[in-house]
Amino acid sequence: MPATIVATNQTPFRQVPIDPVTLDIIENALRNARIEMDATLVRTAMSPGIREQGDAFPLIADHTGKMIVGQFGSFIGGFLASYDGTLEDGDMIFLSDPYSCEGAISHSNDWLVLLPVFKDGRLLAYTAMFGHQSDIGGKVVGSMPIKAHSIFEEGVRVPPVKIWKKGEFNAELMKLVLHQTRKPDWCQADFNALVASCRVAARRVIEMAERFGDDIYVSATQELLARNHRAMQALIGMAVAEEPVSFEDYICDDGMGYGPYRMRCTMWREGEKVVLDFAGTDPQSAASINFYLNENMFKMFFGIYMIMVFDPQILFNDGFYDLIEVRIPEGSLLKPKFPAALSGRTHALGRIFDILGGLLGQKTPEFLNAAGFSSSPHLFYSGNDHRPGKGGEWFQLFQIGFGGIPGRPLGDGPDGHSLWPGFTNVPNEFLERYFPMRIERYETEPDSGGAGLHRGGNGIHMTYRFLASGTISIHDDRWFVPPWGVNGGEPGQRARKVLERADGTTEIVGNKVEDVAVAEGDQLHFITWGGGGWGDPLARDPALVGLEITQGLVTPAGARAYGVVADAAGAIDAAATEALRTELRAARGDLPLFSFGPSIEQLRAACAAETGLPAPIQPQWAMAEAAE
């Protein structure tokens, strides 16, 4: 049974003409309301992941549930189709179970609240916000177990429930949920922040309707949707061919010794509609790297990528969804069957953007981006702090790492940035103030960005010195399969993690590990990967390469990838540079559209020597499928 909207006023909204000035005012007021949601959130939340890094995502939708402003697209249509309850004035929905909302949130750490906005007895809009909770119980600190075999191991799951019903707060339900977490104070504050953000946006929507009139406000939202539809229709016709193109990329491993896992997508146009088919993607994993990809979420990803590459001035919203058809095989890595574990889905989620770039750039290589920092690597550190004045109090840290953005048609990729543009770094001073650690090093990793006319952004080298014994867990990827370059650009360097013990010994640790014991004085070198390069590296200005040597972004040895001979001070040997470039041009042949680096077989053979880690084992089901 679909949801029942209980409205005391059944008068339908009238569609009225909207002049451009009014439309512009309402559009920008909605943009500002979304920004105010974020500002409210960071002023109220307590966890570092939300307060300091902004790991939360707002949405304002129209009265039918279509997103007008936001980031991930609207889940509301799917929710309304599957929720068998009522929605009325004073209600607010709370949920955290991906399987109960068709993957609108992709793991149980994401708590979502949804507020239907009523005015004068009519449903006017929806506001929603979800954010990553640092702990929701489960078998490991941080509630993201790498070796989980089912979602039941990952912490509390909340189906869609009314946390407010006709204005009455369900305090007993919240008490029950908070009882499952190791950090109830953080979760309570973060939940309050989500709620406050939705209420702020609801007030702004009502203010707009009061200022302009309900019919004008609703008509403006419909015109914003229609405008986006027209724009995306033109972009699809320009960038997507009728002839199918395919692209595939990989998740390096599952943290249990198996991999890589293939993600494959084929794209073509049928009239005005683009079809994206993930046939050929590997079956779901027995571990937690599965990503339950909501079709509407992927449509939004596609739209964001198209708009950011081809026309960044467009306000993206849900208006274009009927122009896209998404096909995802059941039981695959991207649509696992319940109760598959989902907590480590961040790598597949990020890799979606690399695949979109590889698909869309084949027709228009001048717009092609390289592979970049397509993940959100996590570090968890927890234990009891026995330093003076701490009394052995419990601590736990969840931090998202940054890396290299890919080389682009218009310039170099930024160094040490997030996959998500709105994320910010946790200040080192914050870490040192609230956790028993010292940040010994925080800088870009030289040469980690792929060489190119436009260099890939460098990854980050962050060194943590632990001041209390405890355990750490790491979620990262791109340590086995490198991020590829395009139009002749070179792949970026891969990620690596090194644990330097207080006694001077060192060990290379995997990029997906959990419950690794650390002692006071141990150091972790957390090194993320760089972005792939764009364009011919031998066409890069030698003087710029020399400048980057002085800035610590490129080393003299790394400069040779650009055919540049320079000393440690960045001084260029012009004659030697010309000779080296001539030699390299003669040896390389035609520039490839994609530079993937070695094959999977070659990577596997060289893995131990190059990374210090054993090569992942190909899952048997993948071998059987290939044989078929």
Q: Which of 558, 531, 530, 532 is CA-nearest to residue 546?
A: 558
Token pair for 443: 């800088």
Asked if 584 contacts 563 with a C-beta cutoff of 8 angstroms, the reply is yes
pLDDT bin (cut points 50, 70, 90) of residue 389 is: confident
Residue 606 scores a pLDDT above 70: yes
pLDDT for res 623: 43
49-87 pLDDT, tens per residue?
898 888 888 999 999 999 999 877 777 887 888 788 999
95: left (phi over 0), alpha (psi -120 to 50) or beta: beta
- 113: helix, strand or coil: strand
Residue 506 CB coordination number (10 Å):
12
Which residue from 54, 121, 154, 80 is spatially nearest to 376, judged by alpha carbons? 54
Inform me whether the pLDDT recorded for 422 exceeds 90.
no
Quote the pLDDT of residue 628.
37
CB of 135 closer than 8 Å to CB of 183: yes
Instruction: Calculate mean pLDDT across residues 273-299.
Output: 94
Handedness of CA 538, 602, 506, 439 (dihedral sign): positive
The predicted model gives 236-259 an average pLDDT of: 94
The pLDDT value given to residue 244: 96
Please report, to the nearest 10 degrees, the dihedral formed by the alpha carbons of residues 568, 569, 571, 573 taken in order: -20
- Report pLDDT digits (tens) over 137-193: 999 999 999 999 999 999 999 999 999 999 999 999 999 999 999 999 999 999 999
**pLDDT of residue 624 exceeding 70:** no
3-state secondary structure 27-77: HHHHHHHHHHHHHHHHHHCCCHHHHCCCCEEEEEECCCCCEEEECCCCCHH
pLDDT at residue 398 in the model: 93
CA 123 to chain centre: 32
| pLDDT band of 511, cuts 50, 70, 90 | very high
Residue 367 identity (one-letter amino acid): F
pLDDT computed for residue 423 by the predictor? 81
Q: What does the alpha-carbon distance between residue 126 and residue 118 come to, in Å, rounded to a whole number? A: 9
pLDDT in tens, 613-622: 999 999 887 4
**What pLDDT digit, counting tens, does each position of 214-237 carry?**
999 999 999 999 999 998 998 898
Average pLDDT value for residue range 311-326: 85
Indicate the domain borders of the chain: 4-232, 368-536+592-597, 539-590
**pLDDT number for residue 312:** 67
Three-state DSSP class for 191? helix
Query: pTM for this structure?
Result: 0.93
Cα separation, 326 vs 299, in Å, equals 8
CB atoms within 10 A of CB 330: 9
Q: Provide the percentage of residues in the chain whose pLDDT is more than 70.
A: 98
The kind and range of the H/E element at 583 are: helix 574-588
Q: What is the mean pLDDT of the chain?
A: 93
Q: What are phi and psi of 135, to 5 degrees?
A: -160, 130
C-alpha–C-alpha distance, residues 414 and 421, integer Å: 11
Question: What pLDDT, in 10s, does the model give residues 295-316?
Answer: 888 998 888 878 777 776 777 8
- Return the half-sphere exposure (C-beta side, CA atoms, 13 A cut-off) of residue 14: 6
